[in-house]
Amino acid sequence: MVSSAIRHVVIVGGGSAGWLTAAVLASSLETQERGGARVTLVESPDVPTIGVGEGTWPTMRDTLRAAGLSESAFFRECDAAFKQGSRFNGWVTGAADDVYFHPFVLPQGWGDADLAGRWLERHSHVPFADMASYQPHLCVQGRAPKQAMTPEFAAVANYGYHLDAGKFGSFLKKHCLEQLGVHFVPDHVTGIASHDNGDIAALHTKAHGALAGDLFVDCSGMQSLLLGQHYGVPFLSQRGVLFNDSALAVQVPYANEHDPIASQTSSTAQAAGWIWDIGLPARRGIGHVYSSAHTSDEQAELALRAYIRATGGPGDIPPPRKLSFHPGYREQFWHRNCVAIGLSAGFIEPLEASALAMVELSAAMLADEMPVTRAQMDISARRFNETFTYRWERVIDFLKLHYVLSRREDSDYWRDNRRSETIPQRLADMLALWTHRPPSRHDFSRIQEVFPAASYQYILYGMGFRPEPGLARRPRVGESDGDTADGFFRQAADLTRRMLPALPDNRALIAHIVRHGLPKH
CA-to-CA dists, residue 426 to 390, 391, 394, 431, 433, angstroms: 11, 13, 9, 9, 11
* 471 assigned binding-site residue: no
Determine the Cα–Cα distance for residues 160 and 64; give it in Å rounded to an integer. 11
Catalytic residue among 83, 146, 173, 400: 83
* 17 assigned binding-site residue: yes
Determine the Cα–Cα distance for residues 276 and 280; give it in Å rounded to an integer. 13
Determine the Cα–Cα distance for residues 189 and 205; give it in Å rounded to an integer. 4
504: left (phi over 0), alpha (psi -120 to 50) or beta: beta
* 16 assigned binding-site residue: yes
Q: Are 511 and 262 in contact (CB under 8 A)?
A: no
11, β-bridge pairs: 41, 217
* 520 assigned binding-site residue: no
Determine the Cα–Cα distance for residues 377 and 383; give it in Å rounded to an integer. 10
Q: Alpha helix (H) ranges present in 103-148? A: 115-118, 128-132, 135-140
Determine the Cα–Cα distance for residues 243 and 220; give it in Å rounded to an integer. 24
* 352 assigned binding-site residue: yes
Closest CA to 123 of 476, 433, 461: 461
96 CB-near residues (< 8 Å, 6+ apart):
none
358 CB-near residues (< 8 Å, 6+ apart):
342, 345, 346, 388, 391, 392, 395, 450
CA-to-CA dists, residue 324 to 46, 245, 331, 368, angstroms: 20, 6, 21, 33
* 359 assigned binding-site residue: no
**Kind and range of the H or E element at 328?**
strand 328-330
247 CB-near residues (< 8 Å, 6+ apart):
52, 287, 288, 289, 290, 322, 323, 324, 325, 350
Confirm whether 83 is a catalytic residue: yes
Query: Which three-class secondary structure state does DSSP give residue 40?
Result: strand
* 14 assigned binding-site residue: yes
382: left (phi over 0), alpha (psi -120 to 50) or beta: alpha
Got the DSSP string for 190-253? EEEEE-TTS-EEEEEETTTEEEE-SEEEE--GGG-IIIIIIT-PPEEE-TTT----EEEEEEE-
Closest CA to 15 of 463, 356, 481: 356
- Name the binding residues for FAD: 14-17, 189, 343
- Name the binding residues: 14-17, 83, 189, 343, 352
Residues belonging to the active site: 83
